[in-house]
Structures are given as C-alpha cells and as structure tokens.
Amino acid sequence: MARGWESKSIEAQIEASREAFPQQRSSDAAKRGSRTGGESSQKTSLLLARTRVLKDIETTQNERYRQHLQMALAGIEKQLLDLE
C-alpha cells in the first residue's frame, strides 16, 4: 500500500513541476529546433560510425576491405545528408 502511495506522490510532484515551469519545456524544444530526440541520437550514432570507418580506412592494409569501407562511408554520409 505504501508503494502505491509513493508513486502517486511522485506523480503529483512531477505534474506540479510541469505546471510551474511550462516555459522551460518550450524553450528546450526551441533550442533543439525541429529535431526530435530520435533524430539527434541517430545523427550522433552516424557521426560515430563515420569516425570509426575513417579510422579503419586509414589503418587497413587490405585493398578489398578498404573499398568495402569506402562504400560504407558513402552510405553513412548519404544518411547524414538526408537527416539535414
């Protein structure tokens, strides 16, 4: 019983906080622009993958693997352009 009471209390606190600071949420959204959290994390993931592929291209000695990595890099860069 106490556990349910705590959950309701926390839920009420969260709701009260949202009502007290509605402008903060809208200003946070404005800072991000039109990007959603999913798009932002996808871009971050793509940038990390791009960095990894570039590093692998620099260090590999196998020409066929290098060609494969360059095709992967082209795909990653295309996806990055599509996000913007």
How would residue 67 be classed by pLDDT, with cut points 50, 70 and 90? very high
**pLDDT tens digits, 70-81:** 999 999 999 999
Spans of all domains in the chain:
1-32, 40-84
CB 60 within 8 A of CB 69: yes
Q: pLDDT value at position 1?
A: 46
Does the pLDDT at position 69 exceed 70? yes
Q: pLDDT value at position 68?
A: 95
Structure tokens at 61: 């000695």
DSSP the chain: -HHHHHHHHHHHHHHHHHHH-HHHHHHHHHHHTT--HHHHHHHHHHHHHHHHHHHHHHH---HHHHHHHHHHHHHHHHHHHHH-
**pLDDT tens digits, 7-60:** 566 677 777 777 776 655 555 555 555 556 677 888 899 999 999 999 999 999
